Structure 1
Amino acid sequence: MPYRNLTMEQMEAVRFDDNLLLSACPGSGKTKTLVSKLCYLLENKESLRIGKRKIVAITYTNVAADTIKERLLSYGIDSSALWIGTIHSFCLHWVIKPNINLIPRLCKGYVIIDEHEKQAKIDELKEKYHINKFERVETKLGLDYKPVYSRGVALFDLVREYHLYLGQNRLIDFDLIINLSYRLLKENSFLGRRLSKLSSHLLVDEYQDTSDIQYEILSSVVSRQQTTVTFVGDKEQAIYTGLGAVVKDKTDLKETFKLDSIAEKSLTGCFRSSQRIVDYYSNYQDGNIDIQSMSKLKDFASVVHLDNTIHKNDLAEYVANIIKTHLAQGIEQREIVVLCPSWFAVMELSRRLEEFSDDFSIDGFLVSPIPKNQDNIWLNLIRLALLEPSVENYIKRQRIAKTLSEFLYDIRETDELIQPKKILRAVNSLSIKAVGAIEKWIEGIIKDFYLKLNLEYNNNSLGASSMRSLLDATAQRMKSYSMNYEASDLHRFFCDPSGVKITSCHSTKGDEYDVVICTGLLKGKVPHWQDIRNRSMQHQNYVARRLLYVVASRAKKHLYMISENGYVSNSGYHYVKTEQL
């Protein structure tokens, strides 16, 4: 049951039915509390006078949304009154798609460019405008719909050409989804009024990672005072302020959302890490909160090791030896993570670790031949076709099948929602094997899926259009990256990883592992040069301490913080250990 073993703090937050700011330290059961609160709202719709309105939950990542959906499914609770997804999904589903006739740029069709394609275009433009390949480029537009850079500088021209490219090719990126939604809501106030009538409760997870423009979009709904709002997060984990996130306190939120009142509650105590780990990452707090381990690992003899003696050429072997040591102690591969400050460093270390990984497998950075555009309905079918039916995958397959059913209904391929069980039976009986050319396999399983469900395949339907879009994007991706993958290779991109994970420091937020090994803790990397140049020491300290706090608090048992030496910048600067360590 969802309420079993909740603490008094957690249960108070679950039952509280008014505007709420809930602060949650690492490992304090934030997700458990959020899921329980959603269960409580769904189970008490009548007494809470929710009626036919929706409960909306905004998560920072699709993974977080999927995790919550799967937990709700495991409890067997009817979640038809719940909508959950990222702010970008919210804008697409609630703002853009129902009002696409009001957006001339999109009404004739569009495709969402994924992050890999976007980065490839940015890299091409960096070369054209002679901009350092490591320079961070802010492609999102301001509230005035203009580049954030001053006119006349190379970065302004780069961003302008990037957006011209998007427009000419009927593409939009995730930042543009936000910009278009903001403009639509500001120019058509009736849309906000309509949304406020549709939503009874709005819950925002990781609220500290919300940008000003995203706050404005959400306030278009909440400020009508017909929606109860809950903000959940931890200002100590605000690692995206350099990318525009704004940390608001209780007073700021009350003003932004025009609330009559908002209560503030906290979740204290860490159910994840040993006390030694907690004591270490507490050094990076600004709030000086006394966090106590409530975990079964409270008194575990954790290793907390800081090292700045390793040369970068020896880093891969050193990390591999740490991994092998803990594997020999019985720790599972999937309970070990290696972190790097950038995706470039992730790719480099992944490649070098391969030389020393005879005793373990690596789940590193891989570019999928199929763009994982969440807006394309057929990605769900591909996932189901590749995800083996098993007890372990039961809930996940149910969740994906439910999403696929909703997509089919939304694009009018079906007159009513198809039961997930029927979807799964159709998928399990697909006769097309994952062999040969990827594009041919995708087309084959989609058409076979129509056949198994007795649906008519129409070349002019949205389903067929989505298939062609996915096939074109896949062909383009494989050509751009000179890929020669076949359908039999797809499992590695779509199935759950089971090896040692290698990822970026920022992307590990929300995760937890027995062993965390963080590399690249060097000034210029953490904090990044763009948070150093022309920035105050106060800003540098803030950014570095937030990231160190998040990284260290992912560890349950053991933590390694490595500042390898031997790096030299183009200007001759020898990188030194992150000062804030």
Structure 2
Amino acid sequence: MPIDLATLNENQSKAVLWEDGPLLVLAGPGSGKTRVLTLRVARLLEQRPDVSVLALTFTNKAAAEMRERVDHLLGQRGDRAHLCTFHSFATDVLRQHGSHLGLRPDFSLVTLDDDRIAILDELATKLADDDQPVPNDRKNLLALLDRLFAESYDGGPEAPSLTETPSWVPQLFQAYCEELVKANRLDFGSLLSFTRRLLQEKPGVARVLRLGWTHVCVDEFQDTNKAQYDLLKLIVAEKQPNLFVVADDDQIIYQWNGASPERLQTLRSDYGMEVIQLPENYRCPPEIVDLANKLIVHNQMRAPNKQPLAARRAASLDDGVIRYGAVGAQSNEVKVVAKDILQRKLTPSDCVVLARTTKLLESAAEALHEAGLEAHLVQRKNDFEIPIVRVVLNALRLTSARHDRDVLRRLCVAWEALTGIPLEVEDVAASATLVGGDFLRAWVDAATAAARGAAGALLDKLRATLVDRLDFLEIVEWFLGEGWKPWAAEGNGELTDEMSTWSDLHGAITREYSPNDLTLNVYLQQLDLASKTTNPGPNAVRCMTVHGSKGLEFKHVYLIGMAQEVLPSFQALKKGPNSREVEEERRNCFVAITRVQESLTLTRARKYFGWAKEPSQFLAEMGLAAE
């Protein structure tokens, strides 16, 4: 059945009907870019049997949404399209070809900072130097490593982001990479870095990938860092680059992760991109669109000839579309928000409280609770936290890596948190020598000796499905169905939330991979790549950072902290009024206000954390009178 393009506007149609060659689609907020991208992919697959499409995006949620839309349009994608995140793509490549770098296909992912810090602790001791010792601040070292990976650093004497590169930097970076390979483990930064390095060192592998995907699409290109762009260039055909990129330079808010306005300019120069603009906004009331245009025009680092947003919704009859208010004390700011939600009788799940920092949101969530409203503080979680969930997940991980002492340690810790029964790692490891070095079998034997009731039933199931034979899907589906419920008897809401999250992720993974392709290693890798952030309850007001809200929309937005040195931040203002940092803060504000479907409420306090603050300069730029 032909794909219906009748409801598209002229520019959307041009983008969807684009055949071959490089194209940049500059798509403003609320312009229907996801629909355009999925229709473009579906149309290529439907009308051109010689085409294969790789579509890359930044979040698992966005990738799942694209897959669902394309499958709905076509019935089934088949194997001619792969829609995934950059990190998922890199994982697939390294699983197939990582042996060139010394990696085995069953490599695991290090997702927790504590595990990465443990690696750094050991390396820092080995690299200790009286003249240039490795700093003790491990959190800063992790941030440095992440930045180096994002910049495509390869361990040379000069690091791109450092004015001076101490000798310990390349030593630590190289040692960290070597330790990851030795342990057959990767973190998020090294996933992309190792994949780029593989394709550079083994051009034959890159050639195979380019032949496999005739067309490459990228969503949210403005969020790419150098490592991602370097990887992209290696998988796009050089002579006939069929590269379709969707981006908005007014929504670049990840400079801290290596995103840059200059990268869009580099892209246009590297590929001679044709440009189609999608300025039409179908999400926001016209009053919000006008506000956004007034704000963002103050930025200088924008695409040439960038068109202003054009409202496509009728003007609202409600004169309260945009509201602004100031209070004296910070403690009163969200009390005013809570009171407003209650007085207007808004559905809590239609409302979001946005702020520049998590610190502000923590106090906001507390104030909402005190007012009798349910609040959900949205924060990315890289792993599950409830003991029973950690027991089952680490048992699966130990099944995949039967001799991994770190996984055994995490399993023992989770088991004690669940049952109160301590199991010593060294004792289990010693007893494993009697069963062929199998840590999992030894752990199940040791745990069974003292377990009773639901814990005993769980161990029996683990033994039957992971020790005596391997059927990981059976244990996972049993646990997601009935196996977790004995631990929910006391109304453990957090457990219910985590089980719902795992169930959603399980469904997405099993839909994406056929039974023959879904090995335990693939399942764990895809699960580790995904955020474990739990969904808000049906009656909860969401509290999110501006960064976390990107790509989402809400009926009623409350943007708090509209004060100088808050939004824009103190650190940005220190760089100067026309700095790239202040421009990014302005883009943060732009992103926040363009989440709105019905109403926007801007608030500020006159003091934050004891310090007097002036109204945000962005209020005046938007034409709002500051009190």
- What TM-score, normalized by structure 1, do the two folds share? 0.71
Shift of 1:362: 3.4
Match of 1:206? 220
- Partner SS, residue 550 of structure 1: helix
In the alignment, does 2:117 pair up with 1:99? no
Match of 1:36? 39
2:95 touches 2:104 (CA, 8 Å); kept in 1?
Answer: no
Match of 1:20? 23
- Partner SS, residue 580 of structure 1: helix
Match of 1:144? 153
- The aligned runs of 1:262-277 (5 Å cut-off) are 262-277=273-288
Match of 1:90? 89
Q: 1:536 to 1:508 in 2, by over 3 A?
A: same
Q: Could you list the per-position Cα deviations for residues 518-538 of structure 1 after superposition, in whole angstroms to 9, with x for gaps in the alignment?
A: 123344443344434456733
Match of 1:5? 7
Shift of 1:196: 0.8
- Partner SS, residue 13 of structure 1: helix
- Partner SS, residue 8 of structure 2: coil
Q: Could you list the per-position Cα deviations for residues 329-374 of structure 1 after superposition, in whole angstroms to 9, with x for gaps in the alignment?
A: xx43222111121233333432342211x244535448542799xx
Distance 1:88 1:312 in 2: 40
More helix by share: 2
In the alignment, does 2:286 pair up with 1:283? no
Q: Could you list the per-position Cα deviations for residues 493-552 of structure 1 after superposition, in whole angstroms to 9, with x for gaps in the alignment?
A: 368765221111111111111111112334444334443445673323311211111111
Q: Given the alignment, which residue of 344, 357, 362 partners 1:342?
A: 357
Q: 1:517 to 1:116 in 2, by over 3 A?
A: farther
Distance 1:345 1:136 in 2: 24
2:16 touches 2:37 (CA, 8 Å); kept in 1?
Answer: yes
Q: Could you list the per-position Cα deviations for residues 368-391 of structure 1 after superposition, in whole angstroms to 9, with x for gaps in the alignment?
A: 42799xx99989xxxxxxxxxxxx
Match of 2:561? 520
1:363 touches 1:497 (CA, 8 Å); kept in 2?
Answer: no
Q: 1:319 to 1:121 in 2, by over 3 A?
A: farther
In the alignment, does 2:334 pair up with 1:293? no
Paired amino acid for 1:12? K
Shift of 1:108: 7.8
1:20 touches 1:265 (CA, 8 Å); kept in 2?
Answer: yes
Unaligned residue ranges in structure 1 (runs of 5+): 380-412, 454-460, 474-489
In the alignment, does 2:60 pair up with 1:62? yes
Q: 1:61 to 1:470 in 2, by over 3 A?
A: closer
Paired amino acid for 2:42? C
Unaligned residue ranges in structure 2 (runs of 5+): 123-133, 398-469, 489-494, 511-516, 620-627
Paired amino acid for 1:253? L
Paired amino acid for 2:330? K
1:337 touches 1:513 (CA, 8 Å); kept in 2?
Answer: yes
Distance 2:585 2:27 in 1: 20
Q: Which of 1 and 2 has greater Rg?
A: 2
In the alignment, does 2:552 pair up with 1:511? yes
Q: Given the alignment, which residue of 549, 557, 571 partners 2:590?
A: 549
1:336 touches 1:515 (CA, 8 Å); kept in 2?
Answer: yes
1:519 touches 1:561 (CA, 8 Å); kept in 2?
Answer: yes
Paired amino acid for 2:193? N
- The aligned runs of 1:42-441 (5 Å cut-off) are 42-46=45-49, 49-50=50-51, 54-80=52-78, 81-93=80-92, 95-104=93-102, 106-107=103-104, 109-114=106-111, 137-140=143-146, 141=148, 142-146=151-155, 148-149=161-162, 150-152=164-166, 170-248=184-262, 252-256=266-270, 259=271, 261-286=272-297, 289-296=307-314, 300-326=318-344, 328=345, 331-356=346-371, 358-362=372-376, 364-365=378-379, 368-369=384-385, 430-432=481-483, 434-436=485-487
Distance 2:253 2:582 in 1: 12
Distance 1:120 1:522 in 2: 36
Distance 1:6 1:122 in 2: 52
1:284 touches 1:549 (CA, 8 Å); kept in 2?
Answer: yes
Distance 1:472 1:538 in 2: 37
Once the two structures are overlaid, the 10-residue window that deviates more, 540-549 or 157-166, is 157-166
Compute the RMSD of aligned alpha carbons.
Answer: 4.5
Distance 1:523 1:227 in 2: 45
Distance 1:162 1:525 in 2: 36
1:302 touches 1:558 (CA, 8 Å); kept in 2?
Answer: yes
Q: 1:318 to 1:335 in 2, by over 3 A?
A: same
2:104 touches 2:184 (CA, 8 Å); kept in 1?
Answer: no
Distance 1:270 1:83 in 2: 29
Distance 1:164 1:213 in 2: 19
Distance 1:196 1:67 in 2: 25
Q: Could you list the per-position Cα deviations for residues 126-174 of structure 1 after superposition, in whole angstroms to 9, with x for gaps in the alignment?
A: xx95769899934322433246444449999998998788678654221
1:200 touches 1:226 (CA, 8 Å); kept in 2?
Answer: no
Distance 2:307 2:548 in 1: 25
Q: 1:157 to 1:98 in 2, by over 3 A?
A: closer
- Partner SS, residue 24 of structure 2: strand
- What TM-score, normalized by structure 2, do the two folds share? 0.66
2:98 touches 2:105 (CA, 8 Å); kept in 1?
Answer: no
